[in-house]
Chains A and B, each alone.
Chain A
Amino acid sequence: MKAIQTNLSGSIIIGMILLSNLNNTFAQNHVGTDRSYHLLNQNTPPGVASIWAGGTGKTIPGHFQQVKFILPSDGSVSLFHNNGASTQSHPAPFQVGIAVGYVYRFRIGQMKEYPNVELYPTVEFIDHTHPPQGEEGKFPVPVEITKKEIELALKGSMVTKIVYLEEPRTANVFPVLDGGRRDIKTIPMHKNLMREADKLGRPMAIIRIGGRQPDKFSNDIAFFAGNGPIRLPNRKID
């Protein structure tokens, strides 16, 4: 009987502890399982993440990172720089070197699927890759705009994407699609996009896509705000 008493009371206590831990686990899932507070999220104003990345020494502000703009099919890409005063249209896919730590507004248009549509997404680089010296052009970071994202932007929604470099030890083997496209993972809005990207690897770039158009009545300098430099490619794009 002594054994029964010990086992009974012991099992009740263990059961209660498990019950309380279960509830705590549910509560912790809401704030994140790693129990850390992430300062950045998908609603962080453009430019803040890159400034903080440079300020904390995570990256080198002004470092040129090769970027490859990819559209669903044919189309043109125009990258605004010099506060919107300079732009030149290039056929997609378009590869260019842009500086880390700046926000760039670019225009996509002349798309076969959307003939009269022009959108003005932005891209902000908060980190850079480390390709072999002299071969930076062979390893551009893909900035891809998909059909689904274009349609959502045309409906008035906003899409925020984060391009990250996978952590090799935890990376899933995603098949590389045609044209160098990668699989895109979608997460619910109430989750922190930056935190999720941090879990999977090293966030490199933030891409924001919406339906806002430049003002026809005035020079909307703030719309094209990016004053970052660009480095046009001197080699043929693959």
Chain B
Amino acid sequence: MTKRVIRVERNSEKSDYQTNYREKQKLTSFNCVIESLAAWFPELTEYLKGDVMKFYFLALSTLLIICVGCALDSPDITKSNFASDIVNHGVFDKGEFHAPPAAMMRRPGPMVDGPGPGVMNVVASRTIPSFSAKTSQVRFLGPAGMSIGWMIDTGYAENQLVAPGRYNFNQGATYRLKLANIPGEGREGVNLYPTLQVYPTHPRTDAYLSHNSIPVELTHEDLDQVENSNFVTKVIYLPDAKHQELAIADVETLVSTRLDPGVDAVAEADRRGTIMCVLRIGNMDLEMPGAPGNLQAGNGSGNIQTVSYDGDQGQYAPPKPISRIASGPSGVPFPTIVGNGGIPGQPAYNPISGVNMQSWGMPTTGTPIGLPGPPHLPLGGPAGLKSHTIRNQTRVDIGKPVDHFLLDVKHEPGYRLPHPVKHMEYKESHPVHSPGEVSQPAWNLP
């Protein structure tokens, strides 16, 4: 008991010492401020030395921190959830409303299907926009005079277009092109075999693609890079509206050779806007005679006969995609985890869990992200995945359903009419006669 008392006394002494030390520090710093203010406001200085003003400055500093924190709108601090909530909602509620993008409003949300968000009736959901662009019109701007062909089932259809020219490519597919007759010194006889990846229509690009063509141009700089064995990737995308200052929607092109080393042109374009097509160019010759793996070589048995089409002779054939991009009902591509180049003429193999491979949780697939897991022994044994949890941490404030609805209506100016009669007073006065004063009509006189 005694020890406990002593310990308490020591702690209190230590606490008193620390408190006094802190008070001295605060007073010292506060006195510095007071002394600096004394030069300008000598009369005010006397009052500021009071203890009351310390709390005023403390309160004002707190208020300043809160105001600055509320007004912060820097995108860098939105990386954390807490900071994002502060920025989006603030300490003080600004009363703003937020809703998903228009395309998402057409469907209620994940795991919930059915009619729209309550404002759309059956008539609206019955009609599906039929104007969505199914093809993208690619306009080959140049170099002028260049012939454009493409791969078909049996080889290459050559000279199908001459730049400047345009063609409608089916969306969601990658095509192998053949560029020939490229103008320029030293480029005689040079053929290039780029791939053209045409992206599916996105709600942001649908209006543009149904009214505009996608400009694709090979510049001399691009051709020089290819000749020097560099791989050139050109990404044509529609910038987000928030990144455009002009009143007109224009596409932009990102070229891999103009970006800093290590910067992925596709990823960068995807960050800036919505990609519409990607052109990848190298100097690989796909028609080298005798080389294995190309169509001219065949399989050595001589059984494969290539049939070529030449546009100069009026022979045209539509391009055959070398791979396709899976897309959902709204044209938004499914999330692709792994993609192979595929075999020419065959679609690329993009393993997606539950789509073209086993769903997650099945014995042969151990992970829910689309990657096959290790084989289970014995076959048919329990799945390796024991738990798969998805937590939706979206902040939702959509209110409760209305149980009693009150509608106030008012007409200005109001009605004013004579009020209906609710009381009438009827009075009759009759002469009063005494007996004998009764008068009779003359005809009744006795």
Q: Which residues of A contact B (CB under 8 A)?
A: 1, 4-5, 8-9, 12-13, 16-17, 19-20, 23-24, 27-28, 31, 35-37, 39-48, 51-52, 54-57, 61, 103, 120-122, 152-153, 156-160, 186-190, 208-213, 215, 217-218, 220, 222-223, 225-227
Query: Do residues A159 and B119 form an inter-chain contact, with CB atoms below 8 A?
Result: no
Residues of chain A within 8 A of B125, CB atoms compared: 55
* The stretch of B209-217, B361-369, B374-382 that contacts the partner chain: B209-217
Nearest CB in chain A: distance from B73 CB, A: 5
Residues of chain B within 8 A of A45, CB atoms compared: 103, 129, 131-132, 201, 203, 206-207, 210
Smallest Cβ-Cβ distance to A61: which chain B residue: B123
A47 with B71, Cβ < 8 A, contacts A4-B44, A157-B249 known: no
For the complex, give the distance between the alpha carbons of A8 and B43 in Å: 14
For the complex, give the distance between the alpha carbons of A223 and B318 in Å: 18
For the complex, give the distance between the alpha carbons of A190 and B242 in Å: 5
Q: Is B221 an interface residue (CB 8 A)?
A: no
A51 with B129, Cβ < 8 A, contacts A28-B94, A211-B213 known: yes
Q: Which 9 pairs, one residue from A and one from B, show the smallest C-beta to C-beta distance?
A: A55-B124, A210-B211, A23-B71, A47-B129, A210-B212, A45-B206, A20-B67, A189-B244, A215-B168
Nearest CB in chain A: distance from B233 CB, A: 21
A42 with B131, Cβ < 8 A, contacts A1-B47, A212-B210 known: no
Q: Is B445 an interface residue (CB 8 A)?
A: no
Smallest Cβ-Cβ distance to B239: which chain A residue: A189
Query: Do residues A47 and B131 form an inter-chain contact, with CB atoms below 8 A?
Result: yes
Query: Do residues A37 and B98 form an inter-chain contact, with CB atoms below 8 A?
Result: yes
Residues of chain B within 8 A of A24, CB atoms compared: 70-71, 94
Residues of chain A within 8 A of B64, CB atoms compared: 16
23 pairs of residues in contact across A and B, judged by CB atoms under 8 Å: A1-B43, A8-B44, A12-B60, A20-B71, A23-B70, A23-B73, A24-B94, A27-B71, A39-B102, A42-B241, A42-B249, A45-B103, A55-B120, A55-B121, A121-B211, A156-B215, A157-B248, A188-B246, A189-B247, A208-B210, A210-B213, A212-B211, A217-B316
Residues of chain B within 8 A of A190, CB atoms compared: 241-245
Known: A41-B241, A211-B213. 11 other contacts (CB 8 A): A16-B64, A17-B67, A44-B102, A45-B129, A158-B208, A159-B248, A160-B249, A188-B245, A208-B211, A210-B210, A215-B168
A189 with B248, Cβ < 8 A, contacts A43-B204, A44-B207, A226-B131 known: yes
Query: Do residues A54 and B124 form an inter-chain contact, with CB atoms below 8 A?
Result: yes
Residues of chain B within 8 A of A13, CB atoms compared: 60, 63
Query: Do residues A55 and B123 form an inter-chain contact, with CB atoms below 8 A?
Result: yes
Query: Do residues B124 and A56 form an inter-chain contact, with CB atoms below 8 A?
Result: yes
Interface residues of B in 205-235 (CB under 8 A from A): 205-213, 215
A20 with B70, Cβ < 8 A, contacts A189-B247, A190-B245, A213-B166 known: yes
Residues of chain B within 8 A of A27, CB atoms compared: 71, 73
* Interface 1/0 per residue, B174-186 and A, CB below 8 Å: 0000000000000
For the complex, give the distance between the alpha carbons of A202 and B241 in Å: 23
For the complex, give the distance between the alpha carbons of A190 and B248 in Å: 10
* Interface 1/0 per residue, B76-103 and A, CB below 8 Å: 0000000000000000001111110011
For the complex, give the distance between the alpha carbons of A91 and B125 in Å: 38
For the complex, give the distance between the alpha carbons of A220 and B132 in Å: 12
A222 with B131, Cβ < 8 A, contacts A190-B241, A213-B137 known: yes
Q: Is B127 an interface residue (CB 8 A)?
A: yes
Query: Do residues A222 and B135 form an inter-chain contact, with CB atoms below 8 A?
Result: yes
Q: How large is the interface on B (under 10, 10 to 19, 20 to 34, 35 or more residues)?
A: 35 or more
For the complex, give the distance between the alpha carbons of A8 and B40 in Å: 15
For the complex, give the distance between the alpha carbons of A55 and B246 in Å: 33
For the complex, give the distance between the alpha carbons of A61 and B121 in Å: 13
Nearest CB in chain A: distance from B294 CB, A: 27
The listed residue with most B CB atoms (<10 A of its CB), out of A5, A9, A36, A45, is: A45
Query: Do residues B105 and A39 form an inter-chain contact, with CB atoms below 8 A?
Result: yes
Q: Is B17 an interface residue (CB 8 A)?
A: no
Partner of A16 from B67, B97, B166 at Cβ < 8 Å: B67
Residues of chain A within 8 A of B130, CB atoms compared: 47, 222, 225, 227
Query: Do residues B207 and A220 form an inter-chain contact, with CB atoms below 8 A?
Result: no
Query: Do residues A46 and B207 form an inter-chain contact, with CB atoms below 8 A?
Result: yes
Q: Is B280 an interface residue (CB 8 A)?
A: no
For the complex, give the distance between the alpha carbons of A74 and B207 in Å: 28
A158 with B207, Cβ < 8 A, contacts A20-B70, A42-B241 known: yes
Nearest CB in chain B: distance from A107 CB, A: 13
For the complex, give the distance between the alpha carbons of A47 and B206 in Å: 11
Query: Do residues A9 and B121 form an inter-chain contact, with CB atoms below 8 A?
Result: no
Nearest CB in chain B: distance from A74 CB, A: 24
Smallest Cβ-Cβ distance to B70: which chain A residue: A20
Q: Is B167 an interface residue (CB 8 A)?
A: yes
* Interface 1/0 per residue, B42-83 and A, CB below 8 Å: 011001000000001000100110011011010000000000
Nearest CB in chain A: distance from B143 CB, A: 17
Residues of chain A within 8 A of B272, CB atoms compared: none
Residues of chain B within 8 A of A213, CB atoms compared: 137, 166, 213
